[in-house]
Amino acid sequence: MYGGASMIAASRMYNNKHWASDVVMGAAIGTFAGWKVVQYHHSHPGNKIDKWLLRPSVHRTADGQVTMGLSFQTR
């Protein structure tokens, strides 16, 4: 993921769409936000967002097609 983000950042600077300081600040904000999300996830296991996002279901229909959906659980 970091490699892909670095290539995009380099292309944005090459095409004069962003300065290097913009890219560095964007990387810092993205890294900080990702770290906070992981930290929240570890300190709040089983939270409502995880239950909603981590409960996808995949089913095969009788005619061979594959369907995907989310199952919502409420308490």
Cα-to-chain-centroid distance, residue 67: 22
Query: Angle at which helices 20-43 and 2-14 pack, to 10 degrees?
Result: 160
31 pLDDT tier (thresholds 50, 70, 90): very high
Cα-to-chain-centroid distance, residue 71: 20
- Is the Cβ–Cβ distance between 72 and 66 less than 8 Å? no
> Does residue 75 carry a pLDDT above 60?
no
pTM of the model: 0.57
**Hey, is 61 helix, strand or coil?**
coil
* Residue 37, pLDDT score: 87
25 pLDDT tier (thresholds 50, 70, 90): very high
Q: How confident is the prediction for the chain on average, in pLDDT?
A: 85
